[in-house]
């Protein structure tokens, strides 16, 4: 079970499934064995929507954001690694009807029994058009606005580039042969890759390339923060981690007792930051 929410005199839960997440609710006010109603199934039309990652109530709707674990790790035991995709967002009304808010053409189409996947009412494709937006990590209502925070893996690209030789060595089983047969290459492809790895200054070039990509992408790396007043029309608050490209995710959106919205970042490079919404967001702590 990934999510749990009390709303409209029912308890809602979200579960991860290899053929797409599911949302269930109690038929009455209290949970009873074998007395649950299926509200959303088969990933809302896309089996790649495996995790219901975030949930919030806003304007008489339940909003649910999806994710793939670490962007590439599938819950399907027959397919451990899958290509990344951007998250989707759906919303559910009090009559258990659901519709697509953010999402594009399904990667692995399914045929849900609970509803039909239509066009996104926001007009935005999965991940707001950014494939690196792997998670809709946080959803939080604040006053008359709903905020959405993402996890974006884009800033990890420069960090992994210098590691390419070691990654290739593992894939090619050059060290000890433990990975033999995992990936099939022709003899010609193997010879070319091994030749590249033996060239001098490969490491220096990759370090330079990583710095260049980081510099050129500094304005777009980092999490996204979006908001809406009606659930249909969305506005970007930040597309670069609130000015810090190393802030790769919004790990927490918290509404305090005095109705201030706090934002905590995930930043494996420098440590987390904490922001508070005071028109606009301002940083209050960093570590």
- DSSP helix/strand/coil, 236: strand
How many alpha carbons lie under 13 Å from residue 193 in its C-beta half-sphere? 17
Number of Cβ within a 10 Å radius of residue 69: 15
Q: What are phi and psi of 221, to 5 degrees?
A: -70, 155
DSSP code of residue 46: B
pLDDT digits (tens, 9 = 90+) for 223-249: 999 999 999 999 999 999 999 999 999
Bridge partners for 234 per DSSP: 228
| Domains of the chain and any CATH numbers | 3-153+219-286 (2.120.10), 157-216 (no CATH)
Close Cβ partners of 239 (under 8 Å, ≥ 6 residues apart): 220, 222, 224
Compute the residue count for the chain: 287
Q: Give the end-to-end CA distance of the chain in Å, rounded to a whole number.
A: 32
3-state secondary structure of 260: coil
Tens of pLDDT, residues 75-89 = 988 888 899 999 999
Looking up tokens 């990933």, which residue turns up?
43
Q: Please, what is the average pLDDT of the chain?
A: 87
Q: Return the closest-CA partner of residue 228 out of 61, 71, 106.
A: 61
What is residue 78's predicted lDDT score, i.e. its pLDDT?
Answer: 86
pTM of the model: 0.83
């Amino acid at each position: 079970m990934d999510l749990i929410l009390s709303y409209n005199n029912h308890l809602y839960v979200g579960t991860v499934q290899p053929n797409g997440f599911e949302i269930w609710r109690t038929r009455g006010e209290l949970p009873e064995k074998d007395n649950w109603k299926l509200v959303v199934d088969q990933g809302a039309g896309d089996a790649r929507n495996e995790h219901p990652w975030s949930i919030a109530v806003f304007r008489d709707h339940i909003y649910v954001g999806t994710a793939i674990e670490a962007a590439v790790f599938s819950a399907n035991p027959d397919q451990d690694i899958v290509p990344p995709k951007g998250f989707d967002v759906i919303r559910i009304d009090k009559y258990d009807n659901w519709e697509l808010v953010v999402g594009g053409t399904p990667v692995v189409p399914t045929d849900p029994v609970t509803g039909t996947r239509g066009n996104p009412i926001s007009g935005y494709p999965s991940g707001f058009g950014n494939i690196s937006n792997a998670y809709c990590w946080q959803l939080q209502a604040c006053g008359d606005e709903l905020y959405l925070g993402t996890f974006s893996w884009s800033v990890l690209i420069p960090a992994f580039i210098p590691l390419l030789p070691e990654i290739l060595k593992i894939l090619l089983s050059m060290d000890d042969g433990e990975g033999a047969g995992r990936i099939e290459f022709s003899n010609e492809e193997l010879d070319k890759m091994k030749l590249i790895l033996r060239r001098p200054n490969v490491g220096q070039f990759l370090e330079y390339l990583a710095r260049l990509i980081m510099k050129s992408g500094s304005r777009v790396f980092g999490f996204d923060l979006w908001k809406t007043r009606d659930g249909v029309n969305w506005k970007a608050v930040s597309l670069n981690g609130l000015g810090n490209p190393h802030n790769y995710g919004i790990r927490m959106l918290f509404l305090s007792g005095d109705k201030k919205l706090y934002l905590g970042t995930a930043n494996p490079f420098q440590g987390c930051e904490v922001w508070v919404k005071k028109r606009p967001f301002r940083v209050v702590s960093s570590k």
